[in-house]
């Protein structure tokens, strides 16, 4: 041992301290992802509104096809973040909490909130309403813009083909929103 450097104590680093530090980091990541995900919804609505306003002012209906592209990119990003948020919750409930309970001989859930908030009355209805909002934002709005393009007098074959591809991609995105596991 070199002079002036104290020997590490076995009390300094314990598995429970490591698990609690991991929990803190995971909750911070979850909080950041929740804020980002929720802001994506507002940004999508703002971007869609801007495109519709520009289209109305310019009379160029082909601009409406940018709305499905915007919604596909931001909707997929929303879903990915939502999945990571849920995965953190699963990990804390199914792995981290039980391991910490085992180490501390605690009786009952160590991270009680992780389980408690899932059993609050009305949660299922709120999740269904959120899915409806997500589908409206990321599927219905872009499809309305696509339909408006389709009925415009300036539909060109290449743009029509692109809009059909976007419609298929939007259907896949909508399916992904509907298939989200109950969290």
What is residue 122's predicted lDDT score, i.e. its pLDDT? 86
Residue 111 has pLDDT above 60, yes or no: yes
Which of 175, 176, 24, 26 lies closest to 86 in space, CA to CA?
Answer: 26
Question: Mean pLDDT across the chain, nearest whole number?
Answer: 89
The stretch 148-154 carries a mean pLDDT of: 92
Per-residue pLDDT tens digits for 31-75: 999 999 999 999 999 999 999 999 999 999 999 999 999 999 999
Q: Contact 42/139 with Cβ under 8 angstroms?
A: no
What is residue 181's predicted lDDT score, i.e. its pLDDT? 58
The stretch 136-145 carries a mean pLDDT of: 97
What is residue 12's predicted lDDT score, i.e. its pLDDT? 67
What is the band of 16 on the pLDDT scale with cuts at 50, 70, 90? confident
The residue length of the chain stands at 183
Q: Calculate what percentage of the chain has a pLDDT beyond 90.
A: 68
Q: Contact 100/26 with Cβ under 8 angstroms?
A: no
What is the band of 117 on the pLDDT scale with cuts at 50, 70, 90? confident
Asked which of 2-11, 92-101, 134-143 is least confident by mean pLDDT, the reply is 2-11
What is residue 164's predicted lDDT score, i.e. its pLDDT? 97
If one compares 74 and 4, the residue with the highest pLDDT of the two is 74
Q: What is the largest CA-CA distance in the chain?
A: 84
Residue 124 has pLDDT above 80, yes or no: yes
Q: Residue 74: helix, strand or coil by DSSP?
A: helix
Whole-angstrom CA distances from 156 to 66, 162, 169 are 15, 10, 20
């Amino acid at each position: 041992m070199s002079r002036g450097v104290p020997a590490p104590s076995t009390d300094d680093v314990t598995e429970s301290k490591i698990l609690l530090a991991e929990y803190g980091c995971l909750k911070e990541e979850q909080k950041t992802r929740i804020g980002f995900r929720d802001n994506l919804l507002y940004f999508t609505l703002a971007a869609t509104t801007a495109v519709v306003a520009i289209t109305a002012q310019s009379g160029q209906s082909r601009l409406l096809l940018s709305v499905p592209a915007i919604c596909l990119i931001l909707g997929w990003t929303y879903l990915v973040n939502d999945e990571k948020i849920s995965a953190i919750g699963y990990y804390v409930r199914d792995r981290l909490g039980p391991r910490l309970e085992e180490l501390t001989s605690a009786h009952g859930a160590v991270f009680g909130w992780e389980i408690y908030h899932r059993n609050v009355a009305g949660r299922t209805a709120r999740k269904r309403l959120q899915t409806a909002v997500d589908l409206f934002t990321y599927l219905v709005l872009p499809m309305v813009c696509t339909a408006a393009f389709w009925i415009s007098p300036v539909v060109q074959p290449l743009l029509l083909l692109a809009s059909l591809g976007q419609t298929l991609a939007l259907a896949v995105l909508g399916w992904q929103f509907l298939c989200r596991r109950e969290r």
